[in-house]
Amino acid sequence: MRNAPTILHLDMDAFFAQAEQASKPSLRGKAVVVGGLGPRGVVATASYEARVFGVHSAMPMAQARRLAPNAAYLTPRFTFYRAISDQVMALLRALSPLVEPLSLDEAFVDLEAGGAAWDSDSARLTGVRLRTDIRAVTGLTGSVGLAASKMLAKIASEQAKPNGLVLIEPGTERALLGPLSVRTLPGVGPATGDHLRRAGITTIDEIVEAGEDELVRLLGKAHGHGLYAMALARDERPVVAERETKSVSVEDTYDVDIHDRLRVGLEVQRLADRCVRRLRGAGLSGRTIVLKVRRYDFSTLTRSETLRGPTDDPAVVREAAARLLDSVDTTGGVRLLGVGVSGLADYTQEDLFAQAAGEHPLGSEEEAAVPEETRPAASVPAEHSWRPGHDVRHASLGHGWVQGSGLGRVTVRFETPDSEPGRVRTFRVDDPDLEPADPLPLVPVRPSGEGGAARADGGAGPEQTGVGSGAVGG
Ligand SMILES: [Mg+2]
């Protein structure tokens, strides 16, 4: 293990919720919950104000609503979060070629490999600067952990949250780890945690006291060895670039379990189509098709099939998904289905299959023929579904976001990232003056020092709001 704290772990603070608060002035300082809003949706991120009520990620949305009935409940805007993520990852890649993203808002960076740091002082300075740069570029805060290993860097960033920096000096690792819960160690989930607790082991010190043989006896050879080494702060895992989850996926949770096999098949086809739309929307194609099935008893299976080459053809994805479904027993009912495409050229939104993390995907590596590149003109009907939290534009009132909808009405709050908290107006859902809009940047795009290439963000309509001075050059 290296002897300088030059592995950096960055984790944006309550990322989705913070991004929403930054773009919606009326939500700043308020409890905000982002996630699936259906009856079986789960919380993706809760703002720190919502966490006070006990709301946390992966919690069923219904439970969150009971705990924090007055919080703002918003559906995620992944394209928006991804644009911010790209800015953050670019700052990390400026520090080192070895950047290992773990999700949209989290990554390891090997500072030594990039020459950005070589000892405690230079590492701390780099971390401080990075946090400042992230704030300046994105308008958001992230927390930084610095240590001599990945495991400890991640523990450090957790301790730094929110909006802080923690550096673990080499030599202090054992003392720091000792009193912490075994659950702090990577690879110790609820099941392993329970198993260890029944054996009287709850802290990392107790793992060390129990000894390696006992760990191997309790957890098996590979897991026991690995965990014992981690408890001694031995973690040699290198930072690996391009390890990110490269997938685009969609999934649906059903209010009532689906029993009809035919219906399950149709749902899978529908999800495959949706997944391809998203894939194409991001300008991507992928090689591996993944099917996820959660059954009535919450057992979750993933099946995958890798094609000879990348595709974004809906027919190919549909067929592969159907083949994968053939190998899954759905008697008893299905509560969730998902279709994903991975093996992409560029990394995409946070893995929506995160709930299956920790379960080892049971991949079936059959090969399928890849058809010629035919692209039927995908005419996707623009459904005006007014989803809470999403951006809209009103012909005369300007930019706002959907606060809620129902009974043929949609409520819009008119505000922008740099405005005062805005006013609320209600419209008929089919009001012709109201249309979906792209998110506004959180940090005003200023002409930069040299040349000042103004970045034009998405669909600039003919009627642009005249902002301040400066002609927009073409
Ligand atoms: Mg985070």
Chain center to CA of 48? 17
* 108 Cα: distance to centroid of ligand 1 (angstroms): 13
Q: What is the predicted pLDDT for the residue at 356?
A: 27
Residue 403: C-alpha distances to residues 60, 70, 357, 412 (Å): 21, 13, 32, 5
Q: What is the predicted pLDDT for the residue at 87?
A: 95
Instruction: Identify the CATH number of the domain defined by range 175-231.
Output: 1.10.150.20
Q: Positive or negative CA dihedral for 235, 351, 341, 283? A: negative
Q: What is the phi/psi pair of residue 203, to 5°?
A: -110, 165
Which of 20, 49, 100, 106 does the annotation list as catalytic?
106
- 182-186, 189-193, 222-226, 461-465: segment of lowest average pLDDT: 461-465
CA separation for the pair 123, 111 (Å, rounded): 7
Top-level class of domain 1-171: alpha beta
Residue 88: band (very low, low, confident or very high) from pLDDT cuts 50, 70, 90: very high
> Is 450 noted as a catalytic residue in this protein?
no
* 143 Cα: distance to centroid of ligand 1 (angstroms): 8
Q: 79-87 — which CB contacts under 8 Å span 24+ positions?
A: 79/349, 79/439, 80/19, 80/23, 80/439, 81/15, 81/16, 81/19, 81/105, 81/349, 81/350, 82/348, 82/349, 83/439, 84/19, 84/138, 84/140, 84/442, 87/137, 87/138
Are 188 and 182 in contact, with CB atoms under 8 Å apart?
yes
Residue 105 counted as an annotated binding residue: yes
- Domain 247-356 in CATH: superfamily? DNA polymerase, Y-family, little finger domain (3.30.1490.100)
Give the model confidence (pLDDT) of 281-340 as tens digits: 766 778 889 999 998 888 888 898 888 777 778 888 999 999 999 989 888 899 999 999
* 13 Cα: distance to centroid of ligand 1 (angstroms): 5
Count how many Cα atoms sit within 13 Å of the Cα of residue 382 in the half-sphere of its side chain. 4
- Answer whether residue 58 shows pLDDT above 70: yes
Give the model confidence (pLDDT) of 371-403 as tens digits: 222 223 333 333 457 889 999 999 999 999 999
- Answer whether residue 466 shows pLDDT above 70: no
CA separation for the pair 413, 400 (Å, rounded): 5
Residue 418 counted as an annotated binding residue: no
* 14 Cα: distance to centroid of ligand 1 (angstroms): 5
* 102 Cα: distance to centroid of ligand 1 (angstroms): 10
Q: What is the phi/psi pair of residue 290, to 5°?
A: -120, 135
**Domain residue ranges in the chain:** 1-171, 175-231, 247-356, 391-436
Give the model confidence (pLDDT) of 354-379 as tens digits: 222 222 222 222 222 222 222 233 33
Give the model confidence (pLDDT) of 219-265 as tens digits: 888 788 889 999 999 998 899 886 444 678 899 989 889 999 999 99
- Answer whether residue 462 shows pLDDT above 60: no
Q: What is the predicted pLDDT for the residue at 80?
A: 92
- Answer whether residue 454 shows pLDDT above 60: no
